[in-house]
Structure 1
Amino acid sequence: MKQLISIALFILVAVAVVGWGSDSLQPKTAVPEVSIDRTIHTFQSQSPAEKNAVSQPQVDSSRLWKHVETLAGEREGERARSFTRDYISQQLKTFGFSPKLQEFDRGINVFAERKGTDSNAGAILIAAHYDTVPQSPGADDNATGVAAVLEVARLLGSRPTPRTLQVAFFDREEIGLLGSLAFAGSPARLKNLQGAIVLDMIGYACRTAGCQRYPEGLKPQPFLDAAGVTSPDKGEFIAVIGDAEHPLLLGTFAESPQADLPPVMTLPVPLKGLLTPDVLRSDHAPFWYKGVGAVLVTDTANLRSPHYHQSTDTLANIDRPFFIGSAQIVVNATAKLLEIR
C-alpha cells in the first residue's frame, strides 16, 4: 500500500489528473477535520427472498494459505514479478479463465473476466496489487490480497450470475499506483463497470490496547459503533473504505455480519478523499477519479501493523483466522454484488 499522497497534488487532481507524492508517514500539510455524514444507512440491494436463495460459497483456508506461502517474498524486481504473473495466470487458467496481460510503462497487469448472463447488468471488478517494496517479503502487503482475489475467481468463476465478474492484478502500486492508473485510464476497461473492490493487506490483526490508529482528520467512531467494534484501539476489524457517492458497495459489505467473521467497519469518504489524502493510498483511488464506485478492503496497513513495508512482513506475522475470515467477507460481498441486475 502506498504510504501517502500529497494533499496539494490532490487539489490539482480535482481539476485535472491524479498526482502522487511523498512516502513519509505524516501529511506535509495539516489536514483539516472533515465533516462526515454519520447517519447509519441501511441498504437493500436484494429482496430477502433473493438473499436467502443465494448461498455464499465458503473459502478454502488451505488454498488461501498456500497462495500466500507461494507468493511471499520480495516482488519488486522484474524476475520476481514475472514469476508472480505466471503463477497468477496459471491459477486463473485452472479456474477456467483466459487471462490477458496489459502492458504499460514500467509494468504489466493481469486481467481476466467471466461473462454474466445479463449483458445489461454490467460488471464487478475485484483487484489487488502483486508487487512489493524492495527488501520486503510482502506476505500481508499484498500476497493476502492476491490470494483472496484468486479464491474469488475460483469460487465464483464458474457460477452463473447476471453481472460479469472481472479480476485484475495490478503491477507497480508501490511506486505510484501505476498499474491501476493504467487500467482506469483505459475507457474500454471501464465500460459497463458497476463497481470495483480493491484488496490491499487483509491479513494482520493486533489485539493489544493502543495498537490501532486512524487517519488524521477522520472521526470513525460512529462507524466502529455500527460495526459492533467494542475495542476501537485494537485492530481486530477489517475496514472497507468507499467514496460517499456510491453507498451501495459499502452497504453490501455492511449487510449480514456473521459472528464467526471479523467485524466490518465501512467508512464513506466525502469529496473523493480530497481533504483526507491518507485514504487515497491504494488502487481504488484512480477509480474514484474516473467516477467509478470503488472500495478499499484493508487491515489499515501502518495504522495497525509494525511490519508494513518491512523485512518482517512475513507469513509468521499473518493472523491466519483473521485473514481467512476477511477473505470470506470479500467472497460474500462479491457474490451479492454479482447477483444485482
Structure 2
Amino acid sequence: MEAGPDVPGLVRELTRRADPARLRDDVAFLADRPRSRIHAPEAMLRAEAHVAERLAEAGWRTERQPFDVRWRPGCTDRPGGGSLSPLRFRLHRRLIGANLLAELPDADDGPDADDGAAVLVGAHLDTVVGSPGADDNASGVAALLEVARLLGGLPRPPRVRLACFDMEELGFVGARVAARAARHGRRVSGMLCLESVGCFADEPGTQTMPAGFGALFRGAAGVVQARDRRGDFTLVVHRRSSDAAAELWRRAAGAADPRLPVVTLRDPRPDGPLGTLAGLAVPPLNHLGRSDHAAYWSAGIPAVLLTGTANFRNPRYHRPTDTPDTVDPARLTAVAVATAVTAALWRPPGHGR
C-alpha cells in the first residue's frame, strides 16, 4: 500500500523557515490605507507593486492581467457589514481592473506535466471604501506571499500558481474573470482561497453564526458551541470535490506551531451553475460563497475557503478600525504554513490524469 504524504514532516520543515515578522510587515504596508481600483487607484497600484516585488524576491514570475468587463452583476463596495441584503446589489456598467497571477519557473512537473494544471492559491487585494482592510484582506495577501516564499524555497517546488484578485468587494469580479479563463484553459485543478484569516479571539462568546446555521450544519455548529463560541479557529469551507483539501489543511493546522483549531464545513451544493442556483432556494447557503472561491465553484473547479469568518467574529470588519494591530502574526503564519502544505500535496479529482 502506498504511504500517504508526510504532512507533519512538511509542516515542521516549512515552520522552521516561516517568519511572522515578514507577515506583520506585509500587513502593515498594505493596510496603512484603503485600496480600491475605483476610489483609491494610486493605493491599488502601490499594493500591486509591493506584491509583485515580494513575489519576484521569492523567485516567482508575475504577470499582470488587465480586464475590462461590462454589465456585470455584483454589489457595492460601500461598507455594509456582512449583510447579503438585496440593497447591496449593483449592476456594474463597466469595470476596468487587473489580477496579478504568478508561477514558479522551476516548478516540479512530475506526473502532472501533460495537463499543465495546478492548484491555485488566491487572495483579494482590494478593500471596501474607507477601510484599510488589515484582516479583510491584507491578512490573506500576506499569507499568500509567505506561501510563495515557503514553496519557492523547496528543493523541488510543486506545481502551484498564485493569484491576487481585484474587485472582490464588487462581487468577485476579478476572480470570475480568472476562473472563466482557467476553466477554458484547463490551467487550474483546484483553488484555495485566503479570506480574512488574521483575526482570532480567545474569549468565550466572541464567535457568532448566521441565522439558520445551527439547523443546517449541526456538526459544525456543535463544535463552535462546544468551544464556548470562542473565535480562535479557522473555518474551512469545502464541497465534496474538495474533501481531500479540507482534510489536508486540518491535519497541517493541527501540526503547526502554534497549533490552529479548525472547524470544517461541507457545502452540500454541487460545483457548477446548479450549485449557484441552489443558493436561491436556501439563502443561508450564500454565506458560504462570500469570497473569490465562489467563482471557481461556479466554473466547476474544486475550491476551499479558508477564513476567520469575518463579521461573525471581527467587530472591525469593513470599518476604519480594521488596522494591522488587530492581526495576529503568529497564527497568521501558521495559516500560511498549513496552506502551503495543502497546496503542495493536494491532488484534486482528475488532477494529473
TM-score (norm 1): 0.79
Identity of aligned residues (%): 32
Please point out which of 42, 63, 66 is paired with 2:25.
66
Q: After superposition, give the CA deviation of every residue in 1:52-98 in whole Å (9 maximum; x if it has no partner).
A: 76454122111111111111121121111011111111111111122
Separation in structure 1 between the aligned mates of residue 55 and residue 347 of structure 2, nearest angstrom: 19
Distance 1:258 1:270 in 2: 28
Q: Is the contact made by 2:27 and 2:139 (CA closer than 8 Å) also made in structure 1? A: yes
How far apart, CA to CA, are the structure 2 residues paired with 1:267 and 1:74? 31
Alignment of 1:101-120 (within 5 A): 101-105=64-68, 106-114=96-104, 115-118=107-110, 119-120=113-114
Instruction: Identify the residue that residue 328 of structure 2 maps to in structure 1.
Output: 319
Give SS of 2:249's match. helix
* Corresponding position: 1:306 with 2:302: no
Residue 175, structure 1, aligned to residue 170, structure 2: yes
**Root mean square deviation, CA, Å:** 2.7
Residue deviations 1:30-69 (CA, integer Å, cap 9, x gap): xxxxxxxxxxxxxx9x724755764541221111111111
Residue pair 1:224, 1:232 contacting (<8 A) in 2 also: no
- What is the correspondence of 1:1-341 to structure 2 with a 5 Å cutoff? 47-48=3-4, 50-51=6-7, 54=10, 56-58=13-15, 59-72=18-31, 73-76=33-36, 77-105=40-68, 106-114=96-104, 115-118=107-110, 119-120=113-114, 122-159=117-154, 161=156, 163-187=158-182, 191-219=186-214, 220-223=217-220, 230-255=226-251, 257-258=254-255, 260-271=258-269, 272=275, 274=279, 275=282, 276-337=285-346
Amino acid at match of 2:41: E
Contact 1:240 1:250 in 2 (8 A): yes
1:190, distance to aligned residue in structure 2 (A): 5.2
1:318 aligned partner, one-letter code: V
Corresponding residue pairs, total: 296
Question: Secondary structure of the residue that 1:151 maps to in structure 2?
Answer: helix
SS at match of 1:270: coil
The secondary structure found in structure 1 opposite 2:198 is coil
Contact 2:236 2:262 in 1 (8 A): yes
Q: For residues 183 and 176 of structure 1, what CA distance do their matches in structure 2 show?
A: 13
CA distance in structure 2 between the aligned counterparts of 1:170 and 1:189, rounded to whole angstroms:
18
Partner AA of 2:255 in structure 1: Q
Q: What whole-Å deviation, never above 9, does each CA across 1:170-215 have from its counterpart, x for those lacking one? A: 0110111111011011146751422100101111112333221123
Distance 1:133 1:69 in 2: 17
Q: Distance between the aligned counterparts of 2:316 and 2:52, measured in 1? A: 28
Cα distance change of structure 1 residues 52 and 258 upon mapping to structure 2, 3 Å threshold? closer
Equivalence for 1:3: none
Deviations 1:141-163 (A, max 9, x none): 11110001011111102435585
Distance 2:171 2:242 in 1: 24
CA 1:205/1:224 → structure 2, altered by over 3 Å: closer, same or farther?
A: same
